[in-house]
């Protein structure tokens, strides 16, 4: 018999500087993916009227924030970074409980989140705008960098703290107001981040949070007259739908979408280093990263040896709830995601793929109420198979073989996605060729596909994203507009 669940209460939404329920009092349960019997929190299921009020407050907050001196805005971000580090452990446990990451993974996410706010705050001491020569007598011309207005941030469940920070830090530094709508699976940590920013001194209205059904709220969110821009991280299907819905509206869109990232291992590679790196890149966070390695292309001459190394390392992974210190691999985020991942594996087996390790839900009774999938390697996967072409977003690595760098590059680029790719080799020529010809936004040699730092531009090509990069100084471009000003002071 399951013990009664203590009511965790409702985490309210931040609207106009106040924490509020929905107008009709309805709520959404947030479940623990390691044990779906546990409700770890509840959030309001907001109405369209609630959303309209949030945008009204955001517009008022924007008029204050845009006129706040840049150094003062940076001071708020710096204070937020300090509070994130101070509250790191408690915030990490929120990620563990609602998303399923291990405690170690969640602590890393919280730490990196603070880095975003520190990095963009540091830009307040950098040049901003330019002075330009002008051919007209007595005229000085300059460029002014301005915020775009009220931004809607739609964020996913897989990095539920880091992805909001990746968007909020540059948006707020540039002087915008933000309405953020987190995934219904992981809204609690977004509320924790909003409390940090409020405690750091962010003025009322500059940040608002919205939780509720996307189906119910989508038209109000995208159609609000105060909205200037939408930044979205999520599936390619939803991202392309947003493109269609915003087309012709004058509202800009930044989209960080799916990936089907490949890692190539050539015959001259350090196999021990490659195996250790691939395990983390493929199965860290249970494979639920847009930059996770999901395709492995290995030279025929070393494929057996590398697969033996990978099998051994996978067998040493320990599945379990993220709060258990012995756990190295947590659940996927939901029952639906678990079933989707298992369907991909079953389909690959029917199409001729061979399961090297894993391939099912774990047999242990202690895990039966959770959303667990055994870390899985499938060899003999061909380019026509769905497991090779479609994003799985789970702990599954598909493997095929190649002969040399040219064939490997052809396989890497045979994808509608173009987010990240990696190569393991000791050959400088192969390395240079790979960096030049891999059709992806992030390319790495003797490094994982995942793990890009906050000051490094991030974003993909093709069905992996839009033209606007995230992270680094390039990340400000989406949240800013350029005004050119010419002033004639003498005649």
Contact of 35 with 321, CB cutoff 8 Å: yes
Contact of 278 with 397, CB cutoff 8 Å: yes
Q: In total, how many domains does the chain have?
A: 2
**Higher pLDDT, residue 4 or 140:** 140
Cβ of 178: how many Cβ atoms within 10 Å?
A: 27
Read off the pTM.
0.95
Q: Tell me the CATH number at 302.
A: 3.40.309.10
Pair 291, 153 in one domain: no
Both tokens assigned to 280: 């983390």
Cβ of 277: how many Cβ atoms within 10 Å?
A: 23
224 domain residue, yes or no: yes
Contact of 126 with 203, CB cutoff 8 Å: no
- Which residues lie across from 254 on neighbouring strands? 231
* DSSP secondary structure letter of residue 473: G
State whether the Cα torsion 184-233-79-106 is positive or negative.
Answer: positive
At 200-245, the pLDDT tens digits run 999 999 999 999 999 999 999 999 999 999 999 999 999 999 999 9
State whether the Cα torsion 470-475-481-486 is positive or negative.
Answer: negative
For residue 111, pLDDT over 50 is answered with yes
Among the listed residues 99, 290, 348, 420, the single catalytic one is 290
Pair 58, 129 in one domain: yes
Contact partners, residue 86, CB within 8 Å, separation at least 6? none
3 domain residue, yes or no: no
| Of residues 275, 232, 262, 202, the one with CA closest to residue 418 | 262
Pair 398, 477 in one domain: no
For residue 3, pLDDT over 80 is answered with no
Contact of 48 with 221, CB cutoff 8 Å: no
1 domain residue, yes or no: no
Contact of 322 with 372, CB cutoff 8 Å: no
Q: Tell me the CATH number at 469.
A: 3.40.605.10
At 241-275, the pLDDT tens digits run 999 999 999 999 999 999 999 999 999 999 999 99
Confidence at residue 5, expressed as pLDDT on a 0 to 100 scale: 43
Pair 405, 469 in one domain: no
At 52-93, the pLDDT tens digits run 999 999 999 999 999 999 999 999 999 999 999 999 999 999
Contact of 372 with 338, CB cutoff 8 Å: yes
Report the SS3 class of residue 469.
Answer: coil
Q: Which helix or strand (DSSP H or E) is residue 423 part of?
A: strand 420-424
At 148-200, the pLDDT tens digits run 999 999 999 999 999 999 999 999 999 999 999 999 999 999 999 999 999 99
- Per DSSP bridges, beta strands 150-154 and 139-147 are unpaired
Proportion of the chain in helix, strand, coil states, percent, rounded to 5: 40, 25, 35
**Integer Cα distance of 352 and 46 in angstroms:** 47
**Integer Cα distance of 409 and 402 in angstroms:** 10
8 domain residue, yes or no: no
**Integer Cα distance of 326 and 285 in angstroms:** 15
6 domain residue, yes or no: no
| Of residues 43, 39, 160, 30, the one with CA closest to residue 92 | 160
**Integer Cα distance of 445 and 442 in angstroms:** 10
Instruction: Give the CA distances from residue 392 to residues 229, 344, 356, 387, in Å, rounded to whole numbers and listed in that order.
Output: 29, 7, 17, 7
At 418-463, the pLDDT tens digits run 999 999 999 999 999 999 999 999 999 999 998 889 999 999 999 9
Pair 107, 33 in one domain: yes
Q: Degrees (nearest 5) of the Cα angle 229, 235, 241?
A: 55
Q: Domain residues for 149? A: 13-257+465-484
Pair 476, 436 in one domain: no
Pair 83, 21 in one domain: yes
Q: How many CA atoms lie within 13 A of 61 on its CB side?
A: 28
**Integer Cα distance of 363 and 55 in angstroms:** 48
Report the SS3 class of residue 335.
Answer: helix
Q: Degrees (nearest 5) of the Cα angle 441, 447, 450?
A: 55
Pair 363, 340 in one domain: yes
7 domain residue, yes or no: no
Pair 305, 438 in one domain: yes
From first CA to last CA, the distance across the chain in angstroms is 89
State whether the Cα torsion 105-109-115-120 is positive or negative.
Answer: positive
Active-site residue, 290 included: yes
CA 375, distance to chain mean position in Å, is 21
Average the pLDDT over 116-134 and give the result: 94
User: Could you tell me the pLDDT band of residue 491, with boundaries at 50, 70 and 90?
Assistant: low
Q: Which residue has the tokens 């350090």?
A: 270
Pair 223, 285 in one domain: no
Pair 441, 473 in one domain: no
Pair 124, 236 in one domain: yes
């Amino acid at each position: 018999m399951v013990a009664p669940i203590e009511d965790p209460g409702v985490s309210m939404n931040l609207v106009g500087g106040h924490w509020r329920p929905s107008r009709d009092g309805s709520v959404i349960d947030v479940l623990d993916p390691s044990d779906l019997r546990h409700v770890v929190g509840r959030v309001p299921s907001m109405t369209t009227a609630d959303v309209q009020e949030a945008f009204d407050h955001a517009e008022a907050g924007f008029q204050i924030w845009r006129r706040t001196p840049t150094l003062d805005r940076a001071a708020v971000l710096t204070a937020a970074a300090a509070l994130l580090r101070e509250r790191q452990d408690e915030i990490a446990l929120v990620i563990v409980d609602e998303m399923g990451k291990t405690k170690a993974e969640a602590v890393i996410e919280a730490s990196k989140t603070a880095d975003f706010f520190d990095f963009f705050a540091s830009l307040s001491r950098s040049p901003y705008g330019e002075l330009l020569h002008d051919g007209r007598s007595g005229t000085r011309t300059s460029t002014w960098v301005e915020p775009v207005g009220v931004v809607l941030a739609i964020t996913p469940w897989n990095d539920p703290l880091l992805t909001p920070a990746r968007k909020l830090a540059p948006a707020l530094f540039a002087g915008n107001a933000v309405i953020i709508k987190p995934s219904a699976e992981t809204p609690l940590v977004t509320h924790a981040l909003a409390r940090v920013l409020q405690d750091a001194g962010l003025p009322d209205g500059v940040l608002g949070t919205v939780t509720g059904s996307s189906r119910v709220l989508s038209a109000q969110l995208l159609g609000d007259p105060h909205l200037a821009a939408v930044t979205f991280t999520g599936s390619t299907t939803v991202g392309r739908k947003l493109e269609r819905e915003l087309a012709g509206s004058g509202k800009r869109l930044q989209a960080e979408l799916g990936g089907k990232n490949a890692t190539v291992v050539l015959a001259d590679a350090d196999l021990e280093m490659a195996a250790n790196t691939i395990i983390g890149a493929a199965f860290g966070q249970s494979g639920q990263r847009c930059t996770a390695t999901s395709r492995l292309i290995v030279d025929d001459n070393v494929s057996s040896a590398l697969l033996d190394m990978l099998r051994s390392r996978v067998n040493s992974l320990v599945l379990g709830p993220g709060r258990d210190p012995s756990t190295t691999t947590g659940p996927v985020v939901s029952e639906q995601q678990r079933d989707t991942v298992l369907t991909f594996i079953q389909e690959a087996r029917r199409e001729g793929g061979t399961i090297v390790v894993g391939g099912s839900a774990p047999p242990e009774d202690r895990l039966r109420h959770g959303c667990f999938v055994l870390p899985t390697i499938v060899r003999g996967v061909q380019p026509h198979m769905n497991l090779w072409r479609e994003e799985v977003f789970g702990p599954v690595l598909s493997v095929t073989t190649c002969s040399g760098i040219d064939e490997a590059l052809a396989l890497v680029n045979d994808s509608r996605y173009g987010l990240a790719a990696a190569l393991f080799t000791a050959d400088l020529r192969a390395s240079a060729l790979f960096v030049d010809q891999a059709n992806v936004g992030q390319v790495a040699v003797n490094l994982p596909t995942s793990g890009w730092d906050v000051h490094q531009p991030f974003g993909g090509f093709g069905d992996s994203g839009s033209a606007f990069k995230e992270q680094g100084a390039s990340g400000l471009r989406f949240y800013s507009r350029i005004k050119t000003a010419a002033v004639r002071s003498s005649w």
